[in-house]
A and B are shown apart, each in its own frame.
Chain A
């Protein structure tokens, strides 16, 4: 049977879709540098880290790495039985991998914190939440920085 133009196009389209999806979804978490991994393991220990539940709000492109607004939140009822114990924020390429540790309790009402951070380079920011059942949830975001913080000379 001769291949019609319609069949050929639908096949080609299908192959493109199938080919691009793995590239988008298979961003391995192992690609983080050793210092970042060590800092995360310091907090998490040997526990498994799940993806999801936590939300990281940070601009994808910042002009000035000296003040980057950051909001981290977790959808949680914040009751005595089911709340977020802490949120830990890390970076990949600053001189030090830690950014901040934030501790909550049922009296917090909402597991959300906003602050302003410094980023020394275009890099990945990782946030990890520890829930009251001691499970860990993570999210990562890439930030492009055009003017770096921290390392410039001081007069």
Chain B
């Protein structure tokens, strides 16, 4: 899927690492009209979750006020090597996932 994930590939045990995610999505607000007056239906990502080795470390509820192609950056404490899993869920059954691995020394 069209997602850009930025996670450091290596870290020391106990480090706080920054995770940056960007996914492509129109994030149509549902408040816009076409030139002939019809409302453009809402189509947004409503939820984002990040899990680290299966445990949730960050979650977000998104609203139409989030810009198109939602960017989110946040932090995590890394205690052991493993995998970050990312999931985006949205209107009209939208679902997208990505993952990134980290080696902890």
* Binary per-residue interface labels of chain A (84-116) against chain B in the complex, 1 for a CB within 8 Å, 0 otherwise: 000000010011101111111111111011111
User: How many A residues face the partner with a CB closer than 8 A?
Assistant: 36
Pick from B35, B61, B67, B72: contact of A118, CB under 8 Å: B67
A115 to B72, CA, bound (A): 5
**Quick one: closest B residue to A125, CB to CB?**
B65
B48-94 CB contacts (< 8 Å) to partner A: 52, 55-68, 70-77
Q: How far is the CA of A113 from the CA of B46 in the complex (A)?
A: 17
B interface SS class: strand
Bound complex: CA A104 to CA B16 (Å)? 14
Contact A153 B33 (CB under 8 A): yes
CB distance from A132 to the nearest CB of B (A): 15
Query: Which residues of A does B touch, CB under 8 Å?
Result: 66-68, 78, 91, 94-96, 98-110, 112-119, 149-155
